[in-house]
């Protein structure tokens, strides 16, 4: 039987610490050539309403260490950025996220599970940030400047707090109600979370600056950064839109830049990084992949804050990868089976019966 894994199952079965470890395995395997990943593919299609577009978001890849290959397929209606709103809005006619991850067995090729992707999508981004922070940040990093108050910001804070002793968080959102609610939500998490009223206050005096927003443009001025800070962002350009949470000055001050996947930078036309390289603002040899840090091929540590001429370290969490879903999905699937998941469908419904061909000696290709 093929099981159904819901968002609630993901919440119940995958602690953030386990998700971070899954990201470590996935990126190490990727850097070692064991895991397989193709750059994400996105496209826009014409919608009957001229103010809206259809958006597809597809990832494919495999992590043999977990025995899982996967396809992530997202299907959304969006309202592109315009003169009145500077961010992409999801406008599905029904209040549903139409995204699904198919988990396949590498051993048998059978579909093991159909998994909701909404909860895991935000969690694996945060967990990847957690893995990167653990590989780069000073062991005593304890202050965080956080931009954003939504799903991604919650996941980023949880992950960073898993790997470093975060004691204070300065959180900024242009929406007063959102940042006030965020502070209230975090009140029981054992750290001081303070809503600041301007973006500069989110940056000042912090060890780590993390951007987890839906903004289409930079959320702070790179001149505000202090030498020795670690900067993290998750907003990236692709073939459907151009966006960046950090400005050109941040690139100028970066002693090193870490990305999830260089091939995706090129394939998705992430011009916010490609243009500074082309223009000589930064050198390509300053850019490293996360997997190379996790395997020890490259060593980059966060210098002491305020260290003269050391610049900043910038982790550009530059793309979602299928290996993230495959690795985390493998953990969730195993736990769901062990606990007796009762949401199943016959696996045969998802394939074509070729018994007569096999009996006749044929092995027809799909």
Which pLDDT score, from 0 to 100, does residue 82 have? 75
Which pair of tokens denotes residue 329?
Answer: 């999905």
Helices (H), the chain: 7-13, 16-31, 118-136, 151-163, 176-185, 199-203, 248-253, 262-267, 271-278, 290-294, 322-338, 355-359
Q: How many residues comprise the chain?
A: 366
DSSP string covering 303-362:
PPTT-TT--EEEEE-----HHHHHHHHHHHHHHHHHTT---EE-GGGGS---HHHHHTT-
Helix (H) or strand (E) holding 116, with range, is: strand 111-116
Calpha distance 67→102 (Å, rounded): 13
Which pLDDT score, from 0 to 100, does residue 99 have? 94
In the numeric block, the tokens 């929406």 are attached to 175
Residues 6+ apart with CB under 8 A from 198: 172
Is there a contact between 243 and 237 (Cβ–Cβ < 8 Å)? yes
CA distance readout (Å), 178 to 173, 183, 188, 192, 347: 7, 9, 17, 17, 43
Cα 20 to chain centroid, rounded: 11
Which pLDDT score, from 0 to 100, does residue 69 have? 98
Q: What is the three-class DSSP state of 252?
A: helix
Domains along the chain? 2-120+321-351 (3.30.1780.10), 128-316 (3.40.50.720)
Q: What is the three-class DSSP state of 126?
A: helix
Which segments in the chain show pLDDT lower than 70?
306-309
Which pLDDT score, from 0 to 100, does residue 306 have? 67
Dihedral sign from CA coordinates of 166, 168, 173, 179: positive
Is there a contact between 204 and 224 (Cβ–Cβ < 8 Å)? yes
Which pLDDT score, from 0 to 100, does residue 181 have? 96
Helix (H) or strand (E) holding 44, with range, is: strand 36-46
Which pLDDT score, from 0 to 100, does residue 308 have? 62
Q: How far from each other are the two terminal CA atoms of the chain, in whole angstroms?
A: 22
Which pair of tokens denotes residue 264?
Answer: 């995706």
How do residues 300-350 score in pLDDT, each as one tens digit? 988 887 666 679 999 999 999 999 999 999 999 999 999 998 899 999 999
Residue 86: what are its φ and ψ, rounded to 5°?
-95, 25
**Nearest partner of 3 among 336, 364, 322, judged by Cα:** 336
What does the radius of gyration of the chain's CA atoms come to, in whole angstroms? 21
Neighbours of 239 (CB within 10 A): 14
Calpha distance 258→313 (Å, rounded): 8
């Amino acid at each position: 039987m093929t099981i159904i894994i819901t968002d609630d199952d993901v919440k119940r079965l995958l602690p953030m610490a386990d998700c971070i470890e899954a990201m470590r395995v996935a990126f190490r395997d990727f850097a070692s050539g064991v895991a397989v990943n193709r750059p994400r593919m996105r496209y826009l299609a014409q919608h009957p309403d001229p103010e809206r577009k259809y958006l597809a978001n597809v990832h494919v890849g495999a992590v043999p260490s977990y025995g899982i290959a996967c396809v992530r397929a997202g299907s959304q209606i969006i309202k592109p950025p315009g003169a009145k709103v500077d961010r992409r809005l999801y406008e599905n006619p029904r209040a549903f996220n139409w995204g699904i991850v198919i988990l396949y067995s590498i051993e048998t090729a059978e579909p093991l599970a159909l998994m909701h992707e909404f909860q895991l999508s935000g969690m694996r981004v945060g967990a990847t940030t957690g893995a990167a922070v653990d590989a780069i940040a000073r062991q005593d990093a304890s202050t965080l400047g956080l931009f954003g108050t939504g799903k991604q910001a919650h996941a980023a804070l949880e992950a960073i707090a898993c790997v470093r002793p975060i004691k204070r968080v300065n959180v900024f959102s242009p929406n007063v109600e959102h940042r006030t609610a965020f502070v209230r939500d975090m009140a029981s998490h054992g750290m001081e979370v303070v809503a600041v009223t301007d973006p500069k206050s989110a940056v000042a005096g912090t060890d780590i600056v993390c951007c987890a927003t839906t903004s289409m443009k930079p959320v702070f001025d790179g001149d505000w950064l202090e030498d020795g800070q670690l900067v993290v962002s998750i907003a990236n350009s692709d073939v459907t839109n151009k966006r960046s949470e950090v400005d050109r000055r941040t690139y100028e001050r970066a002693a090193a830049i870490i990305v999830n996947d260089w091939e995706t930078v090129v394939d998705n036309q992430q011009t916010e990084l490609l243009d500074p390289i082309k223009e000589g603002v930064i050198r390509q040899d300053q850019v490293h992949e996360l997997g190379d840090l996790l395997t020890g091929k490259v060593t980059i540590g966060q210098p002491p804050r305020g260290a003269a001429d050391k610049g900043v370290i910038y982790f550009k969490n530059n793309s979602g990868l299928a290996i993230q879903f495959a690795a985390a999905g493998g953990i969730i699937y195993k736990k769901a089976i062990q606990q007796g998941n009762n949401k199943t469908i016959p696996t045969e419904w998802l394939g074509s019966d070729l018994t007569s061909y096999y009996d006749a000696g044929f092995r027809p290709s799909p």
